């Protein structure tokens, strides 16, 4: 007994590691690897009547994903993800800069404060945006009462509200990597630039910004990639007119009962994700 | 520093943007009006209404049970896995395995959800509480492992276990008397994080939960489909307070990197 435990805990043999890792492996294989492989397999099958799956292999689901009806959804997804990433970086950079260079003793409190909305449920946060942006919502009521508007505007269920929701949720994902890389910029290098006669802006554009580039790229990856698969934002703040890839996928499984087509869409999403991460790794190791 | 002030104001504005919805919800959950945005006076009636709603209470109970089950499963699996990854001699393929452990975190939840749904249905499993708890445990696993692993690494550096064994403890004794007690705060912190992740998960639950299982986020979502009501405000505030408490507790248990080696 004691010997067996020592063997297991000491872990000088790979078999001991495999045994301790067995539950994790079980979970990863059965709930992650097999489901993902299953989706890829299913994406080549054909949808029969009543959601029956016909195992006739072909690329018809992929052709359909890129036809004139669904291509706009893919392009819209890329567009919203791109716009969100750009906005998050532009809005987040000054904040990350402030956290890294100016916040002083408030820094840790601000970093925690930044994460709190992230930890509060996305569902709940989007719900409160509904209160703010709705036809009879806070924004409309306020603007009418100060005479800025004469009748309510439909802020909600528009590209505006979708972008707002996405930026709201993904902003911390951009700020944190930006902050991490700005924090690593050696102060002495910036001082040196000043000593050599650079002005504030020159020092920023020639020294600080280039040195924070890893953070910019990481921030891009961390906002763009999750945005591609976002589902809840449009579900709550958007509506069917602005369906993104995530909503289209959900629809195939929950409403249309076309699992093979939904699987093809999911495979496209995963391929985009893997491709993006691969590019990032290549950039990082280059 | 005039420039610093301008930037500080900018950050304050951005923080206001992040906190605006939470604040709005909080204020209007006490508003004595069905129509949400005009202040009609203070009331607690939306909160009392929550506690008289039997469906809501049962959703709350389901969510709590689910989160507890998922956190417990993830804690056990995560502890075993972290131990093997940190303390064992590196085995072949360890870095690939390491990458795989983080995939649940990177995978879009929609993909995870439909993948699990397809697998469970095609393999003939019931979409019941057990299936959902196991699915949640998968999403929680990376959080548990991150917490426990960091702790085990700092313990490794402190060589306390080696000291115990030099003094004659067997590997098992060192594990029970040294490793486990010192890793416990990290295990609890990871479990609290997992609990939070599971408790407020909507997307995976949306796909994997069968018809009979209604969790809190699912309930809120279906209430939202009927429009904005003050009850949802009150409910959301309760959910937020629960989350903040959990995160607060988690920070209390989380080990600062410098502290571990000094104990």
The 10s digit of each residue's pLDDT in A147-177 is 888 888 888 899 999 999 999 999 999 999 9
Is the model's pLDDT at A20 over the cut of 90?
A: yes
Q: Which of A70-79, A92-101, B27-36, B211-220 has the lowest mean pLDDT?
A: B27-36
| Rounded-to-integer distance, Cα B162 and Cα B157, Å | 10
Query: Is the backbone of residue A147 left (phi > 0), alpha (psi -120 to 50) or beta?
Result: left
Mean pLDDT across chain B? 88
What the block records as the tokens of B59 is 């959703």
A181: CATH: 1.10.3720.10
In a domain, A107, yes or no: yes
Find tokens 């486990």 and name the residue. Answer: B180
Which tens digit of pLDDT belongs to each residue from B129-187?
Answer: 999 999 999 999 999 999 999 999 998 888 888 888 889 888 888 899 999 999 999 99
Sign of CA dihedral B107, A226, A162, B235: positive
What the block records as the tokens of A170 is 């993904």
Beta carbons of B218 and B202 less than 8 angstroms apart: yes
In a domain, A268, yes or no: yes
Single out the residue of B113, B129, B117, B126 nearest to residue B203, CA to CA: B113
In a domain, A26, yes or no: no
Residues 167-226 of B with CB under 8 A from A: 170-172, 174-175, 196, 200, 202-203, 206-207, 217, 220-221, 224
Q: How many other C-beta atoms can be found within 10 angstroms of the C-beta atom of residue A139?
A: 18
Q: Give the residue from B110, B178, B219 with the most A CB atoms within 10 Å of its CB, the best one to mutate.
A: B110
Is the model's pLDDT at B43 over the cut of 50?
A: yes
Is the model's pLDDT at B238 over the cut of 90?
A: no
Q: Which residues contact B97 (CB under 8 A, 6 or more apart)?
A: A21, B85
Domain with A239 in it: 65-285
Given this model, what pLDDT does residue B263 score?
41
From residue A194, how far is each of A182, A199, A202, A207, B262 by CA, in Å? 18, 6, 9, 10, 40
Distance of CA A141 to the CA centre of its chain: 32
A37 to chain B nearest CA, in Å? 9
Q: What element of type H or E holds B220?
A: helix B216-224
- What would the CATH number be for the domain defined by B53-260? 1.10.3720.10
Domain boundaries, chain B: 1-43, 53-260
Tell me which residue in A9, A18, A232 faces B202 most closely, judged by beta carbons.
A232
Q: How many domains does chain A have?
A: 1
Given this model, what pLDDT does residue A163 score?
96
* CA-CA-CA-CA dihedral for A277, A279, A284, A285, to nearest 10: 110
ipTM of the complex as predicted:
0.91
Q: Which residue of A has its CA nearest to B3?
A: A102
In a domain, A102, yes or no: yes
Tell me which residue in B87, B101, B203 faces A231 most closely, judged by beta carbons.
B203
Confirm or reject contact between B117 and chain A (CB < 8 A): yes
Residues 15-34 of B with CB under 8 A from A: 15, 17-22, 24-25, 28
Contacts of B20 in chain A (CB under 8 A): 128, 132
State whether B138 and A28 contact (CB < 8 Å): yes
| Rounded-to-integer distance, Cα A133 and Cα A161, Å | 8
Q: What element of type H or E holds A283?
A: helix A259-285
Residues 42-71 of B with CB under 8 A from A: none
Tell me which residue in B19, B83, B118 faces A35 most closely, judged by beta carbons.
B118
| Rounded-to-integer distance, Cα A87 and Cα A163, Å | 9
State whether B118 and A263 contact (CB < 8 Å): yes
Reported pTM: 0.91
Contacts of A30 in chain B (CB under 8 A): 119
Q: How many other C-beta atoms can be found within 10 angstroms of the C-beta atom of residue A270?
A: 19
State whether B11 and A94 contact (CB < 8 Å): yes
B42: which strand partners?
A: B31
Q: Is B207 exposed, middle or buried (0-12, 13-18, 19+ CB in 10 A)?
A: buried
Given this model, what pLDDT does residue A272 score?
92
| Rounded-to-integer distance, Cα A107 and Cα A74, Å | 39
In a domain, A10, yes or no: no
Segment B67-93 mean pLDDT: 94
* Local confidence band at B228 (pLDDT 50, 70, 90 cut-offs): confident
State whether A250 and B114 contact (CB < 8 Å): yes
Tell me which residue in A28, A31, A128 faces B135 most closely, judged by beta carbons.
A31
State whether A171 and B18 contact (CB < 8 Å): yes
């Amino acid at each position: 007994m004691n010997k067996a435990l020592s063997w297991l805990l000491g872990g000088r043999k790979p078999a001991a590691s495999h045994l301790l890792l067995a539950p994790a492996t079980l979970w990863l294989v059965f709930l992650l690897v097999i489901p993902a492989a299953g989706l890829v397999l299913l994406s080549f099958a054909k949808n029969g009547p009543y959601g029956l799956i016909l195992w006739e292999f072909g690329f018809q689901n992929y052709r359909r994903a890129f036809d004139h009806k669904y291509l706009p959804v893919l392009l819209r997804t890329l567009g919203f993800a791109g716009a969100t990433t750009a906005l998050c970086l532009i809005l987040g950079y000054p904040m990350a800069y402030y956290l890294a260079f100016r916040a002083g003793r408030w820094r840790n409190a601000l970093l925690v404060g930044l994460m709190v909305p992230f930890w509060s449920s996305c569902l709940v946060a989007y719900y409160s945006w509904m209160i703010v942006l709705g036809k009879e919502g806070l924004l409309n009521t306020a603007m009418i009462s100060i005479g800025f508007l004469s009748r309510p505007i439909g802020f909600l269920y528009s590209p505006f509200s979708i972008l707002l929701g996405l930026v709201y949720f993904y902003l911390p994902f951009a700020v944190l990597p930006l902050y991490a890389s700005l924090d690593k910029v050696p102060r002495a290098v910036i001082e040196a630039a000043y000593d050599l006669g650079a002005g504030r802006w020159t020092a920023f554009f020639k020294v600080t910004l280039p040195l924070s580039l890893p953070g910019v790229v990481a921030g891009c990856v961390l906002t763009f990639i999750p945005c591609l698969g976002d589902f809840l934002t449009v579900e709550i703040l958007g509506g069917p007119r602005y369906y993104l890839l995530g909503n289209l996928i959900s629809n195939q499984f929950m409403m249309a009962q076309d699992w093979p087509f939904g699987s093809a869409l999911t495979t496209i999403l995963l391929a985009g994700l893997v491709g993006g991460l691969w590019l990032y790794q290549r950039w990082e190791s280059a | 520093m005039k420039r610093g002030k301008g930037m500080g104001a900018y950050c304050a504005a951005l923080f206001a943007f992040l906190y605006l919805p939470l604040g709005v919800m909080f204020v209007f959950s006490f508003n004595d009006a069905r129509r949400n945005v005009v202040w009609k006076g203070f009331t607690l009636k939306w909160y009392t209404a929550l506690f008289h709603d039997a469906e809501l209470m049962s959703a709350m109970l389901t969510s709590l049970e689910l989160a507890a089950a998922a956190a417990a499963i993830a804690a056990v699996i995560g502890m075993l896995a972290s131990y093997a990854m940190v303390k064992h001699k590196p085995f072949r393929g360890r870095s690939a395995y390491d990458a795989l452990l983080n995939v649940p975190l990177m995978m879009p939840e929609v993909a995870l959800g439909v993948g699990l749904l397809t697998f469970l249905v095609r393999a003939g499993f019931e979409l019941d509480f057990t299936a959902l708890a196991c699915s949640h445990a998968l999403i929680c696993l990376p959080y548990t492992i991150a917490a426990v692993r960091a702790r085990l690494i700092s313990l490794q550096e402190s060589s306390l276990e080696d000291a115990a064994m030099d003094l004659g403890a067997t590997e098992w004794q060192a594990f029970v008397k040294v490793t486990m007690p010192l890793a416990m705060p990290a295990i609890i912190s990871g479990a609290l994080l997992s609990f939070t992740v599971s408790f407020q998960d909507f997307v995976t639950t949306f796909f994997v939960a069968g018809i009979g299982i209604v969790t809190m986020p699912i309930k809120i979502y279906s209430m939202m489909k009927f429009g904005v009501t003050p009850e949802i405000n009150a409910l959301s505030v309760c959910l937020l307070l629960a989350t903040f408490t959990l995160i607060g507790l988690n920070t209390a248990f989380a080990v600062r990197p410098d502290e571990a080696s000094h104990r």
